[in-house]
Structure 1
């Protein structure tokens, strides 16, 4: 088996003059979680629909577990589970019947279907409500059920479009744990979300897309290093804050300091060793440094820096 489980090769999708996906290429290794982020209308859902064989590219191709979505859509569907941002449920069936329907639709029979149904109910935490009608489920439990539907045929690849949308904090934590566990079991997961703090914790790598173009890709740490080389420092000195700020401003790599009482806040370009040298220099100049706080730029900061909020 190839180490690459999801691959987009110069993918294009045009709707008239609108370039929903414009020359997008990236790959996701087997067993990794890839976060796909961008403003509304950036091209995320269109890319996912192409991967799920629900749409065809105008140019280029995409591959799932080595199979082309253009040339081998049936083989792709056997290896892929798709959880859309909105999904249909049937009011007059219960959870077990709903999952059993999709197990049969995916060709599972006999003991294999029964065992898979029981595993999915247990994994998604819906065993206790297997006989409960879907119309009585909360938003969080419906999300769990939809995840179970995508998992029922044991796919190698999972495509999750805004799975945490509308969930309460506890439900989001549970979903995050399930996604990490699936990756640990060897499944490759592509997930889109606007909750960037959770993606930073969950994902092995991310891609940032805007107006159909991929602007940055790589691990969160790599993109942070490439796009956000500065960090904010807050230094508290017990006296002579104005004088300390003036001397700091003369140092290379120090942005314009802002003074708030005993606190001096400024942008600093440098690594941890440079930060330690700066503090030692202040102490050597006779300033009594009582506290130093370093704020590393988050994925949200990087996202705001990379994108411009443009829509098509």
Structure 2
């Protein structure tokens, strides 16, 4: 058995074990793990600090340190909850969703014969959101295989088990999304994942330019779909989740102006983040690409940005 197969087997066993635990227990476990994780995960802590500094400038060191630890705690909880979302008994997962707010946005669009584009940022537990959407609506989403190929069957089964259709991140996948919208179904898009050069526009995200995908206006221009933001937020009691569907910023419908639509996408994500900023995945390098730097996305400017200020937060 090679190293990746062994890793996949161990991870699958861990998720199977965690799938029997309640959200409250998983949160307590995340809280216990976080101090050690923050000490060892140097890259994640550094990127989280830099992104939070960009998004919320002028904060005192003590408050910033608390932000970083809270953000990492939520990220750990997300990883632990994957067992519940992908392998837990469906009735238990459904019971962990205590409330659904804004469902009428989806129902109204479908009653009008429109498809629904759900912008699902990396907030709270997006796999719980996928579970709920695919349990209640015909639902299609793009899927890119993980770096550890041996995990692909496990993740795919987890995401598809309630009926979701996964399509590749390619022209064929985009065609499948269009067909789903034309059937008045729901599709999911990750609005805060940095695209390849040539597939996006720079638009402000918390006041700083972030390279943002322009798939959305292409889909809007060819359908009558409505756009909403969807997240699964951990409740304050940490005993389950609340599903929130929010109206998207009206600029997302600027189908002939991709830059304006991208600004609407990021403004829509900011609306979701406002529900609880620390539940957003701040350790992702959202500002990795910079305006005017298209020749080398992983060049020295990225390293300078994300490695500056190495002092402790």
TM above 0.5, one fold? no
Which structure's residues are more often strand, by fraction?
A: 1
TM-score (norm 2): 0.26
Which structure's residues are more often helix, by fraction?
A: 2
Which structure has the greater CA radius of gyration?
1
